[in-house]
A and B are shown apart, each in its own frame.
Chain A
Amino acid sequence: MPEFDFAQPTSLNDALDLFAADGEVRALVGGTDIVDQLKTGRRNADMVVDVKRIPELQRLELTDDGLHIGAARNLTDIAEFPPVVSDYRGLADSSLLIGSWQIQNRAGLGGNVCNAAPSGDTIPALLSHDTVAVVASKSGTREIALSDFFAGPGQTVLQKGEILVELVLPLMQENSASSYLRFIPRNEMDIAVVGAGSFVQLNPSNNTVLKARIALASVAPTPVRARAAEEVLEGNALTDDLIEMAAVAAVESATPITDVRGSAEYRRELVKVLTRRTLGICRDRING
Chain B
Amino acid sequence: MHLKVNDESLEVAVDAERTLLSVLRHELGLMGTKYGCGEGNCGACTVLIDGEATRSCITPVTSAGGREITTIEGLANGDELHPVQEAFVEHTAFQCAYCTSGFIMSSAALLDRNPSPSDAQIQSALSGHICRCGAYGRILKAVKSASGEGGAE
Please list the residues of chain A having a beta carbon within 8 angstroms of any beta carbon in chain B.
1-6, 8, 28, 31-32, 35-36, 38-40, 48, 50, 52, 76, 99-103, 105-106, 187-189
Contacts and interface: CB of A to CB of B under 8 A. Distances in A.
Interface in B51-71: 52-55, 58-60, 62-63, 65
Interface of B: 15-19, 38-41, 43, 46, 52-55, 58-60, 62-63, 65, 106, 110, 124-125, 127-129
B65 A189 contact: no
Nearest to A101: B125
Contact of B62 (A8, A102, A106): A8
B65 A105 contact: no
29 contacts: A3-B17, A6-B60, A8-B62, A28-B63, A31-B63, A32-B40, A32-B55, A32-B58, A35-B19, A35-B59, A35-B60, A36-B58, A48-B16, A48-B17, A50-B60, A50-B62, A99-B128, A100-B43, A100-B127, A101-B106, A101-B124, A101-B128, A102-B53, A102-B54, A102-B106, A106-B54, A106-B55, A188-B127, A189-B41
> Which among A35, A101, A105 has the highest number of chain B CB atoms within 10 Å?
A101
A102 B40 CA distance: 9
A53 B51 CA distance: 18
A6 B16 contact: yes
* 7 nearest CB pairs, A to B: A100-B128, A6-B16, A188-B127, A35-B58, A1-B17, A105-B52, A36-B39
Contacts of B54: 102, 105-106
Contacts of B62: 6, 8, 50
A6 B106 CA distance: 29
Contacts of B60: 6, 28, 31, 35, 48, 50
A105 to B, nearest CB: 4
A73 to B, nearest CB: 14
A106 B16 contact: no
Contact of B16 (A4, A32, A39, A102): A4
A1 B19 contact: yes
A70 B53 CA distance: 22
Contact of B43 (A6, A35, A76, A102): A102
Contacts of B58: 31-32, 35-36, 106
A200 B33 CA distance: 46
A55 to B, nearest CB: 16
A40 B40 CA distance: 13
Contact of A99 (B16, B19, B40, B65): B40
Contacts of A8: 62-63, 65
A39 B39 contact: yes
Given A2-B17, A35-B40, 4 more contacts: A5-B16, A39-B39, A76-B52, A188-B128
A188 B38 CA distance: 17
Contacts of A36: 39-40, 58
A112 to B, nearest CB: 14
> Which among A5, A52, A76, A102 has the highest number of chain B CB atoms within 10 Å?
A102
A40 B124 CA distance: 29
Contacts of A105: 52-54
Contacts of A4: 16-17
A188 B16 CA distance: 30
Contacts of B16: 4-6, 48
B59 A31 contact: yes
A103 B55 contact: yes
Contacts of A189: 41, 127-128
Given A6-B16, A32-B40, A189-B41, A101 B127 contact: yes
Contacts of A35: 19, 40, 58-60
B19 A103 contact: no
Nearest to B58: A35
B17 A101 contact: no
